[in-house]
Chains A and B, each alone.
Chain A
């Protein structure tokens, strides 16, 4: 029986792991990989104490820091599949690879994952022109016509990545405004190779050829209702994130978009024995530095609880 199981290996999970180990809380941390969403970032310039670090290097330094702690069990390459509360108030945590672990307390630092469009063709052409990791696959679209979907920073940075390669980029924005950094907005708006389609949603992604690849989309102007077809070679989906809270949805209170609702003083959820921190929680700002602080807050609160019991 563990005292604490930490779910996730992003900055929050690792911070909690380090603090838990130093408080000698009997802890296991379960994660598929380290670093969280920043892993794919080329350069993080706001990780405090470091002028610039790649997501890859940040992940490595987090993992090293965690592995340097004595007395914490690290289960990596795995994911939590289900959490069940037992009659005595403890929990049974099962993983995708079939491990079962018992624990008194749980800290959710499972972060979030990329949202999908949910339109026909998206799954069928995933990897065949539909791209979810722009930094990874942008170099494969040299001289091609592509669409980037989204209006926030990740979409704008996606366009920036693609400007080096693609010959024509349509930025598909559901509203009339861009939400990203003003500097990037200006660069994207003024670039001759970029055309912004405002008030627009993709309705369908088409493909053709052998093997089949994306060859076009059907899109709709949500204001006028007008539908049009566009020939292109790639669709880069950058429409934001959805929290990884599915496995506790029957145990804790979630808000309307799936974030775990917490008491922001202690990070406790609505369920006794479960805490949450970072992007999976209903924190106002999704930031690495904030996840770290909130996860530590949670761990100290859990430690107080253990001391009292």
Chain B
């Protein structure tokens, strides 16, 4: 399965929803808190060319925001 990375802030509810979606579907993910991790923030900006969270990287495909349909597509679900 493709590696899944999420860039988030602790106050971001859409990040929580995305993580809950991964957990519910047994998708392992790595999380970076870009509120405190400046290196990760830079990576996130380089990948997504923007500064909003969440940013989700699924095997090199980058999604901004929590869009369940897109995630399901990229993860090969349904």
B partners with A: yes
CB distance from A49 to the nearest CB of B (A): 22
Question: Given A56-B16, A127-B64, do A139 and B11 touch, yes or no (CB 8 Å)?
Answer: yes
Contacts of B17 in A (CB 8 A): 33, 56
Binding site for A on B (CB under 8 A): 9-17, 34-36, 41, 45, 48-53, 64, 68-69
CB distance from B77 to the nearest CB of A (A): 12
Checking A40, A97, A211 against B45 with a beta-carbon cut-off of 8 angstroms, the contacting residue is A211
Contacts of A140 in B (CB 8 A): 9, 34-35, 41, 51, 53
Whether B15 and A136, one on each chain, are in contact in the complex, defined by CB atoms closer than 8 angstroms, is yes
A129, CB-defined interface residue at 8 Å: yes
| CA A200 to CA B27, docked complex, whole Å | 48
Contacts of A204 in B (CB 8 A): none
In the complex, residue of chain A having the shortest beta-carbon distance to the beta carbon of B45: A211
7 new A-B contacts at CB < 8 Å, known A140-B41, A142-B35: A77-B68, A128-B51, A136-B12, A136-B14, A136-B53, A137-B51, A139-B36
A55, CB-defined interface residue at 8 Å: yes
Whether A137 and B45, one on each chain, are in contact in the complex, defined by CB atoms closer than 8 angstroms, is no
Contacts of A211 in B (CB 8 A): 45, 49-50
| CA A55 to CA B17, docked complex, whole Å | 11
Contacts of B34 in A (CB 8 A): 139-140
> Which of A54, A55, A128, A161 has most B Cβ within 10 Å?
A128
Whether A136 and B11, one on each chain, are in contact in the complex, defined by CB atoms closer than 8 angstroms, is yes
A131, CB-defined interface residue at 8 Å: yes
Question: Given A140-B51, A140-B53, do A40 and B13 touch, yes or no (CB 8 Å)?
Answer: yes
Whether A55 and B50, one on each chain, are in contact in the complex, defined by CB atoms closer than 8 angstroms, is no
A138, CB-defined interface residue at 8 Å: yes
> Which of A131, A135, A137 has most B Cβ within 10 Å?
A137
Question: Given A40-B13, A56-B13, A77-B69, do A137 and B49 touch, yes or no (CB 8 Å)?
Answer: no
Whether B69 and A39, one on each chain, are in contact in the complex, defined by CB atoms closer than 8 angstroms, is no
A133, CB-defined interface residue at 8 Å: yes
Please provide the chain A residues from 103 to 160 with a CB less than 8 Å away from any CB of chain B in the complex: 127-129, 131, 133, 135-140, 142
Contact size range, A: 20 to 34
CB distance from A111 to the nearest CB of B (A): 16
Contacts of B35 in A (CB 8 A): 139-140, 142
19 contacts between A and B (CB under 8 A): A33-B17, A39-B13, A40-B13, A56-B13, A128-B51, A129-B51, A136-B12, A136-B13, A136-B52, A136-B53, A137-B53, A138-B11, A139-B11, A139-B36, A140-B51, A140-B53, A161-B11, A211-B45, A211-B49
Contacts of A213 in B (CB 8 A): 51
In the complex, residue of chain A having the shortest beta-carbon distance to the beta carbon of B41: A140
A184, CB-defined interface residue at 8 Å: no
A42, CB-defined interface residue at 8 Å: yes
CB distance from A108 to the nearest CB of B (A): 23
CB distance from B54 to the nearest CB of A (A): 8
> Which of A55, A133, A139, A213 has most B Cβ within 10 Å?
A139
CB distance from B32 to the nearest CB of A (A): 12
> Which of A77, A127, A129, A131 has most B Cβ within 10 Å?
A127
| CA A137 to CA B69, docked complex, whole Å | 23
Chain A 40-54, CB-CB to B under 8 Å as 1, else 0, gives 101000000000001
